[in-house]
Amino acid sequence: MKPMEHKVTPPAERGYSGFYRQEGERIVCELCRHYCKLKEGQVGICGVNMNEGGRLKTLVYGKVSALNIDPIEKKPLYHFLPATFALSLGTVGCNFQCPFCQNWQISQTKELDGSYDVTPEQLVSLALEKGCKSIAYTYNEPTIFYPFARDVALLAKEHGIKNVFVSNGLETPEVIEDMKGVIDGFNIDIKGFNPEYYKKTLKGSLEGVLDTLKRLKAGGFWVECTTLIVPGDNDSDEELGKIARFIAEELDPFTPWHISAFHPDYKVQDKGYTPLETLKRAEAIGQAAGLKYIYMGNVPEDGITTCPGCGLELIVRRGYHVTKNVLVDGHCPACNRAIEGIWR
C-alpha cells in the first residue's frame, strides 16, 4: 500500500479508510496482523471493522466507550512527559481474547449501546480545555480503531498535543509506516514468550508482536514494554528471561520494562494475585539481562528512575504520582548524561 497522506478525514468520509486491499471478491483488512479477508457485510475478528460496499468501514469511528483524564504514569509510560495528564479514550472490540482482560466489559463486546458519539474536534478541544499534554488511545486495542485515532492525533498535533498508543502490538507494517509523524509513543504488551500461548490462549501472534516492536524501534518511536505476570502462565525464570533478553538485545537495554502484578478478572478467577516476590525475581532477571529501567506495577513499590551513568536517583513515582524529578532538560544534573525518553 502506498503511504497515505497525513490529512484528517473529511466528515462525509469518516468511518472509511484505505487500510485494506482487494483480493478477488473480498477485501483484506490491513489494520492488524490477522489480515481478515472480508466478504461483503462481513466483520473481522475484532468485531468492529467491516466490508461495506467493497470498502473498509470502522464501525466504532467516533463511538467512545471510555473517556478519562489520567496521569501519563497510569498508561504506564514513565519516560514520556512525566507528571502530565493524558486524555485517555477507548471504544469497544479487540483483536485478542485474553481470558484475564481487565477491561473485558468493553474489549470483549461489539455492542455500541454504552458508547457515545464524539468527533475528533471535540476530543482535541477537551484535551486543550483540561490542559492535557497528550492523548492516549487505550482501554481496548487502539489498532482496531486506528482510522479514528489517526484523525484525532493529527488534529492534536496541530495544537502541540502528543499521542500515545497502549497496545497489544499486533499493528501491521502498513499501519506502522503510516503512524510516522502521527503517533509519538507506545506501551506495548509482551504477554509471554511462548508462541502457542499467544495463539491458543490469547488468540494473537507472538511473532507479530516482536516484529512490531522491532519496527517501532527502527521507526524512531518511543517505546516502553509491559508484561502482566500471570502466575503459572508466564512467571517462570525461563520465560521472563526470554522477554528481558529480547528487550535488551533486539530493542535496546534502555527500553523501560514494566512488570505488573496480575489480579483475578474476567474468566480467570482461579489464580491468586501475583506475589511481590515474583516481581522482584523478574526485576533481578531483567537486571541480569542488562535492562536499565525496570518498574513494578500494581504493587506498593515506588517507581524510581536512576541515572545509568552515575546512579543518581532522578525520578520517584509513588503510585501514579511523581514525588521527585530532578532531570534538567532530560539530562542527569550530576553527570549530564542524556536520559532516554521524551521529556518535553
User: CB of 51 within 8 A of CB of 27?
Assistant: yes
Identity at 108, one-letter amino acid code? Q
Helix (H) / strand (E) element for 318: namely strand 313-318
Grid cell, residue 6, equals 497525513
Cα–Cα distance between 187 and 233 in angstroms, integer? 21
State how far the Cα of 242 lies from the Cα of 329, in Å rounded to an integer. Answer: 34
* pLDDT of 9 strictly over 70: yes
pLDDT tens-digit series, residues 211-245: 999 999 999 999 999 999 999 999 999 999 999 99
CA-based nearest residue to 300, from 279, 286, 283: 279
Q: How far apart are CA 3 and CA 217, in angstroms?
A: 19
The residue to which cell 473498509 is assigned: 56
Give the C-alpha separation, 325 to 317, whole Å.
Answer: 9
Kindly indicate the confidence band of residue 114, based on its pLDDT and cuts at 50, 70 and 90.
confident
Q: Which of 164, 151, 150, 144 is nearest to 30 (CA)?
A: 144
Instruction: Give 187-212 pLDDT, tens digit per residue.
Output: 999 999 999 999 999 999 999 999 99
Residues 6+ apart with CB under 8 A from 263: 102, 273, 274, 298
Segment 236-255 mean pLDDT: 98
pLDDT digits (tens, 9 = 90+) for 118-152: 999 999 999 999 999 999 999 999 999 999 999 99
Q: Find, among 47, 2, 21, 13, the residue nearest to 151 by Cα.
A: 13
Compute the Cα dihedral for 326, 327, 333, 339 and give only its sign: positive
- pLDDT value for 3: 42
Which of 259, 193, 251, 260 shows the shortest CA–CA distance to 223?
A: 251
The span from the CA of 57 to the CA of 172, in Å, is 17
Are 233 and 99 a contacting pair, CB within 8 Å?
Answer: no
Provide the pLDDT for residue 1: 35
How far apart CA 182 and CA 137 sit, in angstroms, is 12
Q: Is the pLDDT of residue 171 over 70?
A: yes
What CA–CA distance (Å, rounded) separates 37 from 29? 7
pTM of the shown model:
0.97
What nine digits make up the cell of 159?
495544537
Burial status of residue 321 (CB atoms within 10 A of its CB: 0-12, 13-18, 19 or more)? exposed
Q: What angle do CA 303, 304, 310 make, to 5 degrees?
A: 165
Determine the straight-line distance between the first and last CA of the chain, rounded to whole angstroms.
Answer: 33
Give the whole-angstrom CA distance, residue 144 versus residue 133: 24
What are the grid coordinates assigned to 105, written together?
Answer: 466489559
Helix (H) or strand (E) run with residue 294 in it: strand 294-297
> Which phi and psi angles does 142 have, rounded to 5°?
-70, -20
What is 29-74 written as a DSSP string? E-SBTT--EE-TT-B-TTSSEEEETTEEEETTTTEESEEEEEEGGG
Q: Which of 34, 290, 283, 313 is nearest to 175 (CA)?
A: 34
